[in-house]
Amino acid sequence: MPGLTIGDTVPNLELDSTHGRIRIHDFVGDSYVILFSHPADFTPVCTTEMASMAQYAAEFEKRGVKLLGISCDDAASHKEWIKDIEAYKPGTKLTYPILADPDRDAIKQLNMVDPDEKDAEGVNLPSRTLHIVGPDKKVKLSFLYPACTGRNMDEVLRAVDSLLVAAKHKVATPANWKPGECVVISPGVSDEEAKKMFPQGFQTADLPSKKGYLRFTKV
């Protein structure tokens, strides 16, 4: 199936939402945006995910990252469902918009269709897809989970932190990295350049190939 993937520009769709009409590119503006789908309102995993996203919203906001949900239910349904979500986690307020795609055209364009999940009419529902979209409107990272598997908001937050630190410094983050841990210097940066860019110094792993490509630093 064709579909949006990393590096692609998110289509500039205009849809209804719980906050009125939203045009995706206008919503993104100069920010990073987490655009994420859920199969259906008033279903179990989706309720836990929406509540979890609402609980993590302040962390994303601190980083200047906006949240934007989407499913194929209409905005009126979303609004009724939000009452359930907020009751499920008392004290939580769901303040981010949820797009409505009753025509199921947007979820196709956004590569958010779950081929195994159908509604009572046999029409495909969205998967648990999550795209991190950059200020350039391009997809930086995507998670595609099936209906049975609720996402992990800690991993979403970790991925956001990695993208932000990589965009700010000329670095990348190793496997299982967490904020505060060492990062690695990109292969395109020579040792000479690295000395200027990272006056705090860096450590090169001594490996059998002696190629000197694995250089750790703190930023």
Q: In the complex, what is the shortest distance from the CB of residue 147 to a second copy, in angstroms, rounded to a whole number?
A: 7
Nearer Cβ to a second copy (26/167): 167
Exposure letters 116-151 (e unless 16+ CB within 10 A, then b): ebeeeeeebbbbbbbbbbbeebbbbbbbebebeebb
Is 72 known to be catalytic? no
Residue with tokens 């967490």: 178
**What does the alpha-carbon distance between residue 182 and residue 164 come to, in Å, rounded to a whole number?**
15
Q: Within positions 26 to 85, which residues make up the interface with a second copy, using CB under 8 A?
A: 42-45, 47-49, 51-53, 80-81, 83-84
Task: State both tokens at 58.
Answer: 């302040």
Q: Please choose, out of 29-37, 65-73, 92-100, 202-210, the segment that lies near a second copy by the rule CB under 8 A.
A: 202-210
Q: Within positions 93 to 152, which residues make up the interface with a second copy, using CB under 8 A?
A: 111, 113-116, 127, 140-152
Q: In the complex, what is the shortest distance from the CB of residue 82 to a second copy, in angstroms, rounded to a whole number?
A: 10
Exposure letters 32-64 (e unless 16+ CB within 10 A, then b): bbbbbbbbbbebebbbebbbbbbebbeebeeee
Catalytic residues: 46
Positions in the binding site for a second copy (CB under 8 A):
1-3, 5-8, 42-45, 47-49, 51-53, 80-81, 83-84, 87-88, 111, 113-116, 127, 140-155, 158-159, 162-163, 166-167, 171-177, 184-187, 205, 207-209, 211, 213-215
